[in-house]
Amino acid sequence: MAQVFHRSSNWLARFSIIAVIGVTGLLFSILLNINRIDYVSEVGVAIDQPVPFSHKHHVEAIGIDCRYCHTSVEESAFAGIPPVETCMTCHSLIWTEAPNLEPIRTAWRDEKPLQWNRVHDLPDFVYFRHNIHIAKGIGCTSCHGAINEMPLVWVENALNMEWCLDCHRNPEKHIRPRERVFDVHWTPPADQEAQGLQLVEEYDVRVSQLTDCSVCHL
Amino acid sequence: MTQIVRQSSRVTNRVIVTVVALATVLSAAGCDLRQRMYDQEKYEAHEATTFFKDGLTSRAPIEGTVARGGLRLDTHLYEGKVSGELATTLPPSIEFNRALLERGQQRYNIYCTPCHDRTGSGNGIVVQRGLKQPPSLHQDRLRNAAIGYYFDVITNGFGSMFSYASRIPVNDRWAVAAYIRALQFSQEAAYDELPAEDQRQLQ
């Protein structure tokens, strides 16, 4: 009986076994890691807004405190997006003709909310709270980056779980004195780890519980 | 033999097609499930909705209703007025101490300094950028004003100043009012009244 396959087909058979395992493995690792790529999680991409509000101008140049607009950040889970009333506190008197601000004036006149585009959107099964982070000495810029340098806000850190856990395991790397939490110019001191450990102790941060599932996934 | 091989290759083909199809369906279903966990059927804070006419998920209390524990009959505390007149003292529930003044200083620096500046002279950064200058907190009219006056202005606004009632909670408004008093004293303080440390700094 004639051979169907030539002897040289053997390498093809062996190669294809390896290739199938390799390709499957590759696909699997791409699926696992795709969210780690900044391009996919849109890190550094400035988000368009109906009004080109600039944190760089209002925070860096004017020096307005974060809490002037984000009034609920110390008390609640949500930092608070200011109502147009907050904008109009100044802008009913200054830059009253600026075309950029027309959506604000229209919203104010018609008593309609202005629809901003969300920048940070955590999965709905993550229950992040701003207030506890602030109470324990985690500053705005630790997660949001140099917000005072952003004309339009972008995501500085992709906020994936690995990144959250990095700090939940070693909060001493990022914790700062409470009175510097809103200081956008704070930089870690040379002996951050030593000072951090002290603050972790002082603020009663229970590191052993920080990686419990229920801390973030209620 | 040739035929058998062809047959078995057809079978293999069918198995491959089925596996690929199943995998596609399963992963698509998986992605969909994942997506539905990411965006659950619930509203996040301030999220827009088509359910209510005004598009807001954050609802305001129905007019004329009072939430349990939200009754505000104490006019001294909530309006800065005692029997119709501006209150000249802090409400009894607000304890006057250093912590109150420090809280007031912090809140003043957040909400008031953009216009009134840190000393209260009314030359804040927004004024430097073209806003009409507010009166100095150190003029006689304001130095002699009742403390309830400051609470009232923060709560209801004054002239071109907006109300800060939605931004500064009641207790903090009293803290700010108390701190304004401290600021006024500080600008009027005589050299002899200063603690030794401050005197040294001035020399």
Question: Among A92, A113, A124, whose Cβ lies nearest the Cβ of B56?
Answer: A113
Cβ atoms of residues A67 and B110 within 8 Å: yes
Q: Does residue A80 register a pLDDT over 50?
A: yes
What integer pLDDT is reported at residue A184 of this predicted model? Answer: 96
Pair (A149, A159) in one structural domain: yes
Burial (Cβ within 10 Å: 0-12, 13-18, ≥19) of residue B31 = exposed
Least-confidence region, from A157-161, B160-164, B189-193 = B189-193
How many other CB atoms are there within 10 angstroms of residue B148's CB atom?
A: 23
* Chain A residues with CB-CB distance to B44 below 8 A: 124
Which range marks the domain in which residue A105 is found? Answer: 82-115
Residues forming a β-bridge with A169: none
What integer pLDDT is reported at residue B7 of this predicted model? Answer: 52
Q: Is residue A195 part of a domain?
A: yes
Q: Is residue A174 part of a domain?
A: yes
CB spacing of A86 vs B167 below 8 angstroms: yes
Separation CA B55–CA A115 (nearest Å) = 10
Give the model confidence (pLDDT) of B13-40 as tens digits: 777 777 777 777 777 777 777 788 888 9
What integer pLDDT is reported at residue B5 of this predicted model? Answer: 46
ipTM: 0.87
Question: A101 vs A14, A51, A87, A146, B139, CA distance in Å?
Answer: 67, 6, 9, 24, 35
Separation CA B193–CA B199 (nearest Å) = 9
A62 touches B: beta carbon within 8 Å: yes
Mean pLDDT, rounded, of chain A: 93
CB spacing of A124 vs B39 below 8 angstroms: yes
CB spacing of B114 vs A90 below 8 angstroms: yes
Give the model confidence (pLDDT) of B89-132 as tens digits: 999 999 999 999 999 999 999 999 999 999 999 999 999 998 99
Separation CA A31–CA B75 (nearest Å) = 62
CATH number for the domain including B130?
A: 1.10.760.10
Q: What average pLDDT does this structure show over A115-128?
A: 93
Q: Is residue B44 part of a domain?
A: no
Q: Does residue B12 register a pLDDT over 60?
A: yes
Separation CA B150–CA A69 (nearest Å) = 21
Residues 80-99 of B with CB under 8 A from A: none
What integer pLDDT is reported at residue B86 of this predicted model? Answer: 96
Give the model confidence (pLDDT) of A91-106 as tens digits: 999 999 999 999 999 9
How many other CB atoms are there within 10 angstroms of residue A69's CB atom?
A: 21
Pair (A147, A64) in one structural domain: yes
Give the model confidence (pLDDT) of A173-209 as tens digits: 999 999 999 999 999 999 999 999 999 999 999 999 9
User: From the CA of B17, how many Å to the nearest CA of chain A?
Assistant: 15
| Site from B15, B26, B35, B126 to mutate, A interface, most A CB atoms within 10 angstroms | B126
Q: Is residue A93 part of a domain?
A: yes
Q: What average pLDDT does this structure show over A25-33?
A: 89
Residues 49-78 of B with CB under 8 A from A: 54-56
